Amino acid sequence: MALTISDIGQSVLDTHYAVRGPIVARAQELEKAGKKIFYCNIGNPQALGQKPLSYIRQILALAEWPGLAGKAKGIFPSDTIAVAEMILKESKFGLGAYSDSKGLPFVRKAVAEFIQKRDSGDGVTVSSNPDNIYLTDGASKGVQTALRMLIASANDGIMIPVPQYPLYSATITLYGGRQIGYFLDEGSLWCLSEKMLEEAFISARAKGLRPKAICIINPGNPTGSVLTRDNIAMVIRFAKEHGLSILADEVYQENIYRPQDRFVSFARVMTELGEKDVSLFSFHSCSKGFLGECGQRGGYMEIRNLPADVLMQITKLQSVSLCSNLAGQIVTYLMVKPPLPGEPSYETYVSERDGILGELKLRAKLLAEGLNRIPGISCQPITGAMYAFPSITLPEGRTDEEYCMDLLEDEGVCLVSGSGFGQQKGTAHFRTTILPPTDQIEEVVRRIARFQATWK
């Protein structure tokens, strides 16, 4: 008899990933049937018109076909040819061979240098060890590896924000661990407070759970909030006090829209504090920022304060899948080593980068303002990342899942309901990306407004 659903393990059945759940499946059906769909469910910039950076794609083209530079004289900026040659030389075998399980050594070295340069300053020198860097297929695979290491038994709990990005809840469930939600304060720009962390921790312990780690998403997904240095120091102290590891999801570090905010990494603050006892897993990705190279599946995980024998276990797990894809590893290299002032590609790179970031900033403002003009919808300022997570007032007895499904059917706007991310009891939200082009953002807002005014 064929395999049936009753043969499937409970942890698989219990796993949910709202960003690509039933609502998206329905959107695809409607699209097939000819309906115009506005996909605001997922942070997939190039699917919404963002162009890849020329520098990155020129070098990928040269690296994919090594004979190309010699044949195509005058087409490629000279620095892209030099970088592609260096990549082919340093990788030894080009893009067609398995790399080390951790990824190509020269890429990991470049990532370590990037972290050192990004985080050092004001009298603090942050060091980074290439041996503690793992190149991964997007950040998701790194997060999954870290959680795999942390969840050892059915009582092991992982603290995650509410709302959170459902990669965390899905993976914790799949690996047989327990979610410990800590609430973010919507009224104060979704900020993080020690009180909320303590409450969540105490309540988990009272239920017999063993908290193993705390996940922080900074800038926040879906909230967009940007943590301050003091916030981060508080989390590190909290983790230390309770013997927790930290997972720092820092994939939106380039997506910060207000002049008064800036990205501060956990690596930086740990170094400032001289913290050696808290294990840190931090994640970055080529999919967000201004690259938006989701399809290339590039990213890395940097690890601090982990004993060598545990690192070896991680390397072993990575090795079972051999290595992350090489094009993604190269994009990761190019993300951390952009062209420098004076190099032939520099001006174009800066102009493309600033064009994208300027557009995102504009859209973040337009979207939040537009949503706030709709009676029954209240949106915090979008200060970072790529999403809005407004609260909505629903008719008595209705849910935000129903809201999002009906909005899709009526107006073709594909959002994700707040319940997929977690929210305070009695509240309702949706998540939408800020990624559609400006004219489409306005259209999306108009459609949501029309729906909100009439939905019962």
61 binds its own copies (CB under 8 A): yes
Residues 352-371 that bind its own copies (CB under 8 A): none
User: Which C-beta is closer to its own copies: that of 268 or that of 304?
Assistant: 304
141 binds its own copies (CB under 8 A): yes
Q: Report which of 26, 48, 50 is spatially closest to residue 433, judged by C-alpha positions.
A: 48
Residues 302-321 that bind its own copies (CB under 8 A): 305-307, 309-310, 313, 316-317, 319-321
DSSP 285: E
Q: How many angstroms separate the CA atoms of 376 and 310, rounded?
A: 50
How are strands ordered across the β-sheet holding 416-417?
387-388, 430-433, 416-417
Q: In sequence order, what are the beta bridge partners of 247?
A: 215, 281
16 binds its own copies (CB under 8 A): yes
Among 149, 360, 368, 407, binds its own copies (CB under 8 A): 149
Residues 285-304 that bind its own copies (CB under 8 A): 287, 292-297
Among 221, 223, 245, 253, binds its own copies (CB under 8 A): 245
Which SS3 state, helix, strand or coil, does residue 304 take? strand
Among 78, 153, 203, 351, binds its own copies (CB under 8 A): 153
Q: In sequence order, what are the beta bridge partners of 432?
A: 388
- Is-contact 448 388, C-beta < 8 A? no
Crossing angle of helices 54-64/78-91, nearest 10°?
Answer: 50
322 binds its own copies (CB under 8 A): yes
User: Which C-beta is closer to its own copies: that of 68 or that of 394?
Assistant: 68
65 binds its own copies (CB under 8 A): yes
Q: How far is the CB of 51 from its own copies (least distance, A)?
A: 9
Q: How far is the CB of 143 from its own copies (least distance, A)?
A: 10
User: Which C-beta is closer to its own copies: that of 326 or that of 407?
Assistant: 326
Q: How far is the CB of 3 from its own copies (least distance, A)?
A: 4
Q: How many angstroms separate the CA atoms of 326 and 63, rounded?
A: 10
Write the binding mask 247 to 286 for its own copies: x where contact by CB under 8 A, - elsewhere: -----------------------------xxxx-------
Q: Total binding residues for its own copies by CB under 8 A? A: 94
Of 141-149, 222-230, 261-269, 345-353: span binding its own copies (CB under 8 A):
141-149
Q: How many angstroms separate the CA atoms of 351 and 18, rounded?
A: 35
Q: How far is the CB of 140 from its own copies (least distance, A)?
A: 5
Phi and psi at residue 410, in whole multiples of 5°?
-80, -40
Residues 157-176 that bind its own copies (CB under 8 A): 167, 170-171, 174
User: Which C-beta is closer to its own copies: that of 303 or that of 374?
Assistant: 303
Among 110, 301, 326, 360, binds its own copies (CB under 8 A): 326
225: left (phi over 0), alpha (psi -120 to 50) or beta: beta
User: Percent helix, strand, coil in the chain (nearest 5)?
Assistant: 50, 15, 35
Q: How many angstroms separate the CA atoms of 423 and 161, rounded?
A: 9
Q: How many angstroms separate the CA atoms of 258 and 306, rounded?
A: 35
144 binds its own copies (CB under 8 A): yes
User: Which C-beta is closer to its own copies: that of 165 or that of 183?
Assistant: 165
Residues 17-56 that bind its own copies (CB under 8 A): 17, 19-21, 28, 42, 44-47, 52, 54
Among 38, 99, 110, 111, binds its own copies (CB under 8 A): 99
| Cα within 13 Å of Cα(350), Cβ side | 9
178 binds its own copies (CB under 8 A): no
With vertex at residue 454, the alpha carbon angle to CA 448 and CA 456, rounded to the nearest 5 degrees, is 110
Of 87-95, 367-375, 382-390, 426-434: span binding its own copies (CB under 8 A):
87-95
Residues 197-226 that bind its own copies (CB under 8 A): 212
Q: In sequence order, what are the beta bridge partners of 181?
A: 160
Answer positive or negative: Cα dihedral of 285, 110, 333, 91. Answer: negative
Of 120-128, 326-334, 413-421, 440-448: span binding its own copies (CB under 8 A):
326-334
Residues 394-413 that bind its own copies (CB under 8 A): none
Q: How far is the CB of 256 from its own copies (least distance, A)?
A: 22
89 binds its own copies (CB under 8 A): no
Mark 308-334 as b/e (b = at least 16 C-beta within 10 Å). eeebeebeeebeeeebbbbbbbbbbbb
Q: How far is the CB of 97 from its own copies (least distance, A)?
A: 4
User: Which residues have C-beta within 8 Å of that of residue 414, sequence separation ≥ 6?
Assistant: 23, 24, 27, 37, 38, 39, 40, 41, 408
